[in-house]
Structures are given as C-alpha cells and as structure tokens.
C-alpha cells in the first residue's frame, strides 16, 4: 500500500513536470518564432524537447 501511494505521488510529480516542460517548450518555440534566435542563443531547445519526450514516454509506459 505504502509502495503504491509513493508511486502515485511520484506519478503526480512527473505528470506536473511533463506539463511544465511541454508548456516551456511551446513557449520557447513561440518566442523563437516571434523573435528569432532569442532563445536559441542562450538555450538549446533540443535538451528541452528531449526532457519533455522522456517524461512523456515515462507517463505513457506507466499508464
């Protein structure tokens, strides 16, 4: 039971993390389209996309 609840807590965290990363990716892409290079100059969006994909896949497998 304890193990189940911890897994559920972790799942909620990953769920929120996924939403956060996905929103951040979308915001970054939109900002990059409006103001070219402003994000890419400071941050490689690829890392963000990879993190979003990993958390997304984790949630998908867990479901």
Q: Which residues contribute to the site for another protein (CB under 8 A)?
A: 1-2, 5, 8-9, 12, 16, 19-20, 23-24, 27, 31, 35-44
Residue closer to another protein, measured from CB, 3 or 61:
3
Beta strands in 1-63 (DSSP E): none
Residue closer to another protein, measured from CB, 25 or 53:
25
Per the CB < 8 A criterion, the answer to whether 15 and 59 are in contact is yes
| Alpha helix ranges (H) inside the chain | 2-34, 45-62
Q: How far is the CB of 19 from another protein (least distance, A)?
A: 7
């Amino acid at each position: 039971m304890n193990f189940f609840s911890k897994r559920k807590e972790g799942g909620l965290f990953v769920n929120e993390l996924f939403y956060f990363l996905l929103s951040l990716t979308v915001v970054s892409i939109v900002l990059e389209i409006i103001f070219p290079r402003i994000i890419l100059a400071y941050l490689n969006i690829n890392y963000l996309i990879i993190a979003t994909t990993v958390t997304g896949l984790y949630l998908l497998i867990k479901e």
